[in-house]
Structure 1
Amino acid sequence: MGESRALRRAGWAGAASIVLLVAGVVLGYLVGVDEPGMSDAAILERLNDDARQAAAGFAPPVLAAGVAMLLWFATGLRWVLDRLSGGDPLAHAIVPAAAMFGGLIITGVSLDVGSAFAAWSDEFTADPDTVRALGMSGQVLALTGLIGCGVLVAVTTRIAQQAGALPSWAVWVSYAVAVLCLTGFWSGGMASVVFALWLIGAVIGVLRAARRRSPAPPIPS
């Protein structure tokens, strides 16, 4: 019963991570600069908008909570993969891969919103070129973090394939998701969306595994 409850909680943590990560990225985007061709006037308007600054201030803590939930989910997913594979060492890559993604996305978004935080203090005069450089640096870091997502997807798919736990179509779709994440820098936001959809499927898989671990109710005599 304890294992079933722990798995169920890990599954719901994964669901919460999707919501929190999306919310954190959206909040950061309110003041972020992800297009180097954005005009100077548009950049300064975004940075000096009090409402945008206040909303963006929630981006780092929301993202941090999302990453924490993702790591919780990753521990549950690793447990499921350990049972499927009989202890394949490949499953050990799951949690570090999730941590890599989480660390880089938090760093990337923090760089993107850092100028807005500085402008909020009224002691910093934003330079549009500096803001562009920080924004693009943040975008590069965040997209590089998708490599961790690619590893997470590939490892999960490989172990599930060897255990015969997935139909053939799901295996090949998952491998396609892994490739897209590994090349996420060139695919832009598409890889992020596809990974989020895959993660929803993984959450459902962990919750089903938790249900299978639940003991059957006793039959009354």
Structure 2
Amino acid sequence: MDESRALQRAGWAGAASVVLLAAGVALGYLVGVDDPGMSDSEILQRLNDDTRQAAAGFGPPVLAAGVALLLWFATGLRHVLDRLSGGDPLAHAIVPAAALFGGLIITGVSLDVGSAFAAWSNEFTPDPNTVRALGMSGQVLALTGLIGCGVLVAVTTRITQQAGTLPRWATWASYVVVALCLSGFWSGGMASVAFALWLIGAVVGVLRTARQTQDVPSKGTPATGAAPTPPTTPTD
């Protein structure tokens, strides 16, 4: 597979990951408890609602698909950063950082919706206090996973800044995203939204790189419109 096509697919995988990650979290929220002040009756109503349970059942697999696509995108982004930096070892942190985020967010959402799945079996009597504890544990884990996002953004920003390919305003905006992600739990939903917007920008960057790579003729192939090299006449 040629390089430009591989980068294009990685870029579109990143775009799809944004949609699936948002959808997976939203589906889990239908039965999850992220507010310890929620009343007992409201918690039990959410857990025992068959429609909410069925919808939330799609949450973990949708989220897992989003994480898989994010890892695919991360491999393409790492390739772009390798080219920009000339093989800087810092770029190797991209994929593990995405994996850290993916692993913690899946674990967090699973803890949050676990009580609803257990209630669906009709063999489990939910306790509101237990549900609160699991819900808050899941939230803390998922928000802690934003540290991986912060590493991903920081590495990308540093390498593109050194290569001079990122405007100054975009550089500072990216570092703000890093600060929000590293403050994770305290920044609440702001960090998640900021990372999603940054990820969309990174997807655009990878797709542009793929287009530029496609426009560059491969080594040994004359560019379109270039005059062919005349054959040389052997001399005696």
Say whether 1:39 aligns with 2:39: yes
> What is the aligned partner in structure 1 of residue 127 from structure 2?
127
Aligned residues: 221
> What is the aligned partner in structure 2 of residue 25 from structure 1?
25
CA deviations 1:162-187 (Å, max 9, x no partner) are: 00010111101101101110001100
Q: State the alpha-carbon separation in 2 of the partners of residues 219 and 41 from structure 1.
A: 74
Counting only pairs closer than 5 Å after superposition, residues 94-105 of structure 1 correspond to structure 2 as 94-105=94-105
Counting only pairs closer than 5 Å after superposition, residues 114-193 of structure 1 correspond to structure 2 as 114-193=114-193
Question: Deviation of residue 48 (structure 1)?
Answer: 0.2
Q: State the alpha-carbon separation in 1 of the partners of residues 152 and 215 from structure 2.
A: 29
Q: State the alpha-carbon separation in 2 of the partners of residues 35 and 219 from structure 1.
A: 65
The one-letter amino acid of 1:83's match is: R
Say whether 1:219 aligns with 2:225: yes
> What is the aligned partner in structure 1 of residue 201 from structure 2?
201
Question: Deviation of residue 219 (structure 1)?
Answer: 3.4
Q: State the alpha-carbon separation in 2 of the partners of residues 220 and 168 from structure 1.
A: 37
The one-letter amino acid of 2:225's match is: I
Runs ≥4 in structure 1, deviation > 3 angstroms?
215-221
Output the TM-score relative to the length of structure 1.
0.98
Question: Deviation of residue 220 (structure 1)?
Answer: 9.0
The one-letter amino acid of 1:123's match is: E
The one-letter amino acid of 1:192's match is: S
Counting only pairs closer than 5 Å after superposition, residues 41-80 of structure 1 correspond to structure 2 as 41-80=41-80
CA deviations 1:62-91 (Å, max 9, x no partner) are: 000000000000000000000000000000
CA deviations 1:101-144 (Å, max 9, x no partner) are: 00000000000000000000000000000000000000000000
Q: State the alpha-carbon separation in 2 of the partners of residues 209 and 53 from structure 1.
A: 43
Q: State the alpha-carbon separation in 2 of the partners of residues 32 and 101 from structure 1.
A: 19
Q: State the alpha-carbon separation in 2 of the partners of residues 7 and 127 from structure 1.
A: 49
Bigger proportion of residues as helix: 1
Gaps (5+ residues) in structure 2?
A: 217-222, 228-236
Q: State the alpha-carbon separation in 1 of the partners of residues 71 and 183 from structure 2.
A: 22
C-alpha root-mean-square deviation of aligned residues, in Å? 1.2
Percent sequence identity over aligned pairs: 82
The one-letter amino acid of 1:186's match is: W
> What is the aligned partner in structure 2 of residue 91 from structure 1?
91
